[in-house]
Amino acid sequence: MPVRVEAPKAQQPTYPQLSNNLPASPVSKNPNNKINDDSVPKSFDRSDVKLGRLEKEVYEDKDFDGVRRMHKFTLYETATRFYIVGSDLLDSRFRILKIDRTADVGDLSITEDEVIYTREETTRLLATIEDGNRSTGGLKHRCPFWGLLGFVRFTGAYYMLLITKRSIVAMIGGHYVYQIDNTELVPLTAGARKPDRNSEEARFVNILGNLDLARSFYFSYSYDITRTLQHNIIRQREALSNGLTHPDNHDYNDMFAWNHYLLEPAKKHMKNTYDWCMPIVHGYVDQSAISVYGRIIYITVIARRSRYFAGARFLKRGANDLGYVANDVETEQIVSDMLTTSFHAPAKNLYSNPNYTSYVQHRGSIPLFWTQKNDAATPKPPVEMNLVDPFFSAAALHFDDLFQRYGAPCIVLNLVKSKERTPRESLLLKEFTQAINYLNQFLPTDKRIRYIAWDMSRASKSRDQDVIETLETIAEVVVNTTGFFHNGPSRDGAEASLQNGVCRTNCIDCLDRTNAAQFVIGKRALGHQLHALGVISGTSVEYDTDAVDLFTHMYHDHGDTIAVQYAGSHLVNTMETYRKINQWTSHSRDMLESFKRYYNNSFLDAQRQEAYNLFLGNYIFTQGQPMLWDLSTDYYLHHIDPRASRKRRSYIKWWTPKNLEKRVMPRATRPLDEFANKPYSYFDDYWLEYYRPKALSSFLKVFSYDINSTLRYIPIGQTSEGKYDLSPFKVRTNHGGSNHKKSKSKNNVINAETPENRLKKITALEGWPSSPQKQQQTLRQTSNPQFPGRDHNAVSGDMHSGLRSSSPVKQHFAVGRDLIPLEQRNMQQVVERSLNPSLSEKETEEYALYVSHPLNLPLVVTTELPPNTSRDFVNYVNSTSPEAVANLRATDNDIKSYEEFLEIPENPLSVDEADGGRGRYRAYQYWIMTGKLKQQRIGMVSVKT
């Protein structure tokens, strides 16, 4: 007799449990996910503690290089001078800056003391100053502050701008990045009074106050955030190869240093300007952590806004005659493995840590001469090409600048509309395409601008195109073409890789569509970066995973911040819109943001533009010239004087050959000669800045413990039995929108088209199609292989034909548009369903009874009316006649059930065999055995018991 062998049951895999406690959510503790650095513990005196020999050499060396870099400042004042006392990270070395308050109006007198003082020497010096000024009021402690932004002058004396509050937002290589939370404008005149409210000086001060420096302005004491990580590493390596401990000059990028105008007076009157002042960037900085089974990966997003041609949405469009475009933003994402903190590798290989990667993108307005009139009566004003530029000189200057900043090739992803009833964006598409074709004909073949024109707005509204799938395909091409920065050498001995080239993305405003496209490109780059760090085996990460959800939130906040800075409101269309997730719930939000954007553009942008022009130095007060508020236009503040003679560049050789050269990484990273035996702290004081030795601190105030992390997505209750996969790359949910997996045909056969073939179809790597019509056709053919060439009306017809079934039951239940899933309804169906809801007769009666029922009923029945009785209550009580009450009779079953309910057994919580026949116990037993609720079918209605 054959023996039947049962197949073993598949066991659920057991995942490692979460042994550590999750940190508290930053939302409940701090809504902005920031650490208020006002509460950072101050160093206490440890003069009696005996230091080791090495610590003594580091902390007491008079020539310690880090002492020139000050991190804390205190402002003192006398009747004639300001004294700024700066201290290092350890509060052990101090320097003093003196500012004369009696200088002539318009003059700035600053004395920089080169002597480095100890704490005791500084205390004695301040006491001497107080004794010498006792007759005039002595020495007063004005305020502590965290940095000096520079000096500014309007119509009279100078002011200095101080950072009085800050908060930590990121940590890169052991160096903190801070956000400005509050500033103070201090006049430098003796006995300064508040200017008359009607004076010109007071009006300039009020205009400057319209620029909120407490939002989205960032600085760092020891890391150059105006440059990319790739540039900073290359610069440090070049200095070491030349025998220098540090680069010999401060190479801050003026394009992103928004206080450049305020730093100019300091450069003229101070020898070591950047020891006291620091550049600030405007944009967005955020940092989060991915926990891969205890291995921490940091993701840092830094967006830098250009100060050139900066302004509000409708007031700054296109480009100026210097090639600078409006809303120019450089976005960098740094992915690093926090196995070690610093940029350095073991064995004294400085700035060679292979655990750091970086990828850079760019967005900016279309580099042509075009404007839109800001008219409150027209929400979408027409596009005006207000200047004829047959040789596209502005575009040539712009792309030459991109080559200089990022190298070649430059990929242009143009997302403007191609077909419109009233030509608006399509005018710019045609002109921009001609500009690219003109400029490309003179460039070397391998350095030509790669141009992709795709109507993303039309594709998102079409049912036969998958926007995310198409963007994923484009993103793979972009990342493979430009590469990304990976510091090295890596674990397998490979040299460092550099990013050569950049992807420039734009739509009409460089906001909604641009941010979605940049997110998908960044997501692709994130997969390559994680693969380079050895975190994942492949080069892609899936949607709806903890890691991608965290990354999505970062890019959503990034897009919101840029949109508020440029347009005055948050993003209108988010990634949920393009992924077709929760479209109905987000519809009201999108409408609200559109109204906010319209209101800000119409009524508030002019004030913001004046503040930009004043803070950036675009407008400088000159006696006899018009005031800022009297200018009818600021065109001449952002363009070169047409009467000024300047050398014209060649119309044919419009680029700089040096900018097209490939970037290479210097190989020498070890310190040479007399610096070979110096400790790490001699070259980089990251250890002092990050770990804060000799300072009392707590874990709750340490940035690394408060940073947002994928650990916050983990449900603790599901990890106790090991049934929850803690991997941040595990797909958690499956939305009804785009699935972004391999498409299958109706026969469940995976489409045989490979990604490489699709890449070639879209980009034609041998010669990218420059015609927008050809690219639109190619993208439509490859966007959704499951429905090639399927018409929108055909899909709609199929959907409705499925409802017109011959079955009488299906016809009965298809009254309704209710059977159409919410995400598949079009706007017309939603409006009809909202205005004409279908209710059954029974539902109508129940609703009428609900409306007629009084809201408040007394708990005790009495014949007396309660005080303040409403007429509705009296009518409701009198509506029941005594005859109707008299006819109410309880049946025998009702009495039996009531007596059974009142009967309390000796052990009320125990269940015996007699209870097993009851309906509720049978349903409970069925649920225990099967895990499902027992269902009883009554006619056509399914009822759960």
What is the structure's pLDDT at 67? 40
Q: Are 781 and 764 in contact (CB under 8 A)?
A: no
Whole-number pLDDT of residue 854? 62
φ, ψ of residue 854 to 5 degrees: the values are -65, 160
| Local confidence band at 937 (pLDDT 50, 70, 90 cut-offs) | very low
Q: What pLDDT, in 10s, does the model give residues 684-736?
A: 888 888 888 877 878 878 888 889 999 888 887 777 777 788 899 999 875 44
Residue 734: per-residue pLDDT: 55
Answer positive or negative: Cα dihedral of 703, 704, 710, 716: negative
What local confidence, expressed as pLDDT, does residue 520 receive? 96
Give CA separation, 719 vs 33, 110, 821, in Å.
26, 62, 34
Pick the closest to residue 146 from 283, 40, 305, 3 (CA basis): 40
Alpha helices, DSSP H, located in 210-258 = 229-241
- Separation of alpha carbons 422 and 692, rounded Å: 61
3-state DSSP assignment of residue 782: helix
90 torsion bin: left (phi>0), alpha (psi -120 to 50), beta (else)? alpha
Spatial neighbors of 784 by CB under 8 A, at least 6 apart, are 464, 465, 466, 469, 743
Taking only the tens place, the pLDDT of each residue in 183-234 is: 999 999 876 667 777 789 899 999 998 898 998 999 999 999 999 999 999 9
Mean pLDDT within 733-754: 45
Element (H, E) at 352: none
The predicted structure's pLDDT at residue 719: 76
pTM of the model: 0.75
Q: What is the pLDDT of residues 767-815, one digit of tens each?
A: 454 455 555 555 545 444 333 333 433 333 333 333 333 333 333 333 3
The pair of structure tokens assigned to 241 is 């190869």
Of 492, 569, 564, whose CA–CA distance to 534 is shortest?
Answer: 492
Residues 723 and 72 sit within 8 Å (Cβ to Cβ): no
Residue 430 — pLDDT band, cuts 50, 70, 90? very high
**Which among 602, 612, 411 has a CA at the least distance from the CA of 525?**
411
Segment 168-178 shows an average pLDDT of 95
**Token representation of residue 246:** 């540090």
Q: What is the model's pLDDT at position 883?
A: 63
pLDDT at 830 over 80: no
Please give the C-alpha separations between residue 829 and each of 121, 584, 801, in angstroms, as whole numbers.
80, 12, 16
Q: Determine the pLDDT at residue 784.
A: 43
* pLDDT on residue 825: 52
Q: How confident is the model at residue 935 (pLDDT cuts 50, 70, 90)?
A: low
